[in-house]
Structures are given as C-alpha cells and as structure tokens.
Amino acid sequence: MPRPKSLSPTKIYTDGSHQEICYVLGSQSPVRQPVKTNGCAVTGNEAEYRACLVALQAAKNQGIRRVEILSDSQVMIRQLNGEYAARSPRLNDLRILVLSLASEFDEVRFTWVRREQNPAGRELERKSKGG
C-alpha cells in the first residue's frame, strides 16, 4: 500500500569518516557501514558524499519522495546548494551523482546542522570512542 503524502520532508541525517559512513533516516535507527574505498584512500569530504548517496538510495528504496538531508559538512552542503564550487574532480563526480539521484525525488533539501545536532555524526563519534 502506498505511503500517504507527508507535508514535510523526511529528515535524513548523514555523516562520514575515513572508515565509516552513517545515516539516520527519519525515526529509524542509525545505519553504519564501512566506507567502500575501491583501493583508494578516501577523504573526509568524499565519505560525507558517500553517506549522502547511500542515505538517498535507502530513502528511494523505501518509497520516500520528499527528503531533507542534514549534515554537519559545510563543504558538501554548500557544494550541493551551489554556494561553493567542487574543485576536486573526485568531489565533483560525487556531487553529480548525489544531484542525479536527488532529481529522482519530488523534493530534496540540503541543510547544514551543527555537529551536536547531527545524530549520525554523534553515532560515529560514539562508536569511534568505543561506545
């Protein structure tokens, strides 16, 4: 049965580190995954984009049509909103992938939040400290 349309977009919090990515989709539990490196070193900004991609794909798979991506990565959010240029070819490729996937939704917003307001970031931080 199709989901009823919501007036506000589903909030998705994302974060990435050199080893892991994490996202929190709506009220669901955090999802953590190792960063897929394909044999290359991954920068923190690349991991942020990968977390965003995985989270958008999860939302799409669940039939969610309106989302707000919330991240504490100012670089990623500002690049996705067109405020900063993505000068790194690898970041630009990831930016294009995110925007392409985002175009398949009815609505996508990219919003910056402070680290302490990002449950995905707090989850990665807690796990990195052995919590």
Strand order in 107-112's β-sheet? 31-34, 20-25, 10-16, 66-71, 107-112
Buried b (16+ CB within 10 A) or exposed e, 105-127: eeebebebbeeeebbbbbbbbee
Q: Is 34 exposed, middle or buried (0-12, 13-18, 19+ CB in 10 A)?
A: exposed
Interval 68-79: pLDDT, tens = 999 999 999 999
One of 3.30.420.10, 3.30.950.10, 3.40.50.2000, 1.10.3210.10 is the CATH number of 10-121, namely: 3.30.420.10
pLDDT of residue 3 exceeding 70, the answer is no
Predicted model pTM: 0.90
Interval 26-80: pLDDT, tens = 999 999 999 877 777 889 999 999 999 999 999 999 999 999 999 999 999 999 9
Question: pLDDT value at position 126?
Answer: 84
Domain ranges for the chain: 10-121
